[in-house]
Amino acid sequence: MVSMLTVDNLTAGYDEADVVSNVSLNVIEGKITCLLGANGAGKTTLIRAILGLNNIRAGLVTFSDKDISSWATHDIASEGVTCVPEGRRVFGKMTVLENLQAGAFLERNASVVMQRLKQVYDFFPKLEERSDQLAGTMSGGEQAMLTIGRSLMSNPSLMIFDEPSLGLSPLFVKENFRIIKDINEKGMTVLLVEQNVRQTLEIAHFGYVLSQGKIVASGSVDSLKNNSELRAAYFGSA
């Protein structure tokens, strides 16, 4: 098992306060690794620190054997890390097509971009139908699709999903998890950050549980399912 992304004793936060401290985790190549935690556990802070959107106080982030701890966000992206951001942040005043083109910003070869566009359209036929529509006028579920398609356009080697089920209707949540599973089955390495424990554990291979800024449980999904603390905290039974 090769670890594609390794976080080693990372501490990060805002102003004076450390939000996450001494967090270590591995994202295994070709697998879905999930990061579970309640609101305020520090999931988003951790992801932002990995992506270079927040400063890292201490610790190391290694991606494909490169130390990316102090890299700028756009340089991390050019290494093949992409993030489907929380809250379906599409470029609302751009068309669907332009959003997808923005996703492939780093690819200068137009024919390669066209090829990827075709793949994304094959995966999400709805996006092709809506290619000229302003992204901001689409429904929440369609925007969620678009953010995933946009990330795929960069031909990433690691996809980070930041709370993809947040604010979606149950039907779309289910659909979203199915899509993530599909993408992974085609070989993509995934780091899935979620609150939705039950459905996340259905598709993930490995997991970490973050609570008050610290990793409190980790291991294979099967071991997590049987972890009594986790069961107590999230499933309501010991």
Partner 1 sequence: MDPGFFAQYLINGLVQGITYALVAVGFTLFFGVLDVIKFSHGDVLMLGAFTALALFLGLDQLSTPAWLSLTIMLCLGVIAMALLGALLCKFLVLPLKESPPLNTLLITLMFGSVIREGVRLFFPNGSNPKPFPALLPETSINWGNLNLRLDSVILIFTGAMAIVLTHLFIQKTRMGLAIRAVAQDEETARLMGINFNKTVLMTFALGSGLAALSGISTGLYYQEINFSMGLMLGVIGFSAAVVGGLGSIYGAIVGGLLFAFLQTLGAIWFSVPAYKDVFAFTVIIMLMAWRPTGLLADRSAERV
Summarize as ranges the residues that interact with partner 1 (CB under 8 A).
51, 53, 72-74, 77-78, 82-83, 85, 89, 91-94, 98, 101-103, 105-106, 108, 150, 154
Taking the least distance from each CB to partner 1, the nearer of 82 and 165 is 82
CB 146 within 8 A of CB 97: no
Taking the least distance from each CB to partner 1, the nearer of 116 and 150 is 150
Taking the least distance from each CB to partner 1, the nearer of 26 and 82 is 82
Q: Provide, rounded to whole angstroms, the least separation between the CB of residue 95 and partner 1.
A: 11
Q: Provide, rounded to whole angstroms, the least separation between the CB of residue 186 and partner 1.
A: 21
Q: Provide, rounded to whole angstroms, the least separation between the CB of residue 233 and partner 1.
A: 31
Taking the least distance from each CB to partner 1, the nearer of 9 and 78 is 78
Tell me the angle at which helices 140-152 and 96-103 cross, rounded to the nearest 10 degrees: 30
Q: Provide, rounded to whole angstroms, the least separation between the CB of residue 152 and partner 1.
A: 12
Taking the least distance from each CB to partner 1, the nearer of 52 and 207 is 52
Q: Provide, rounded to whole angstroms, the least separation between the CB of residue 14 and partner 1.
A: 12
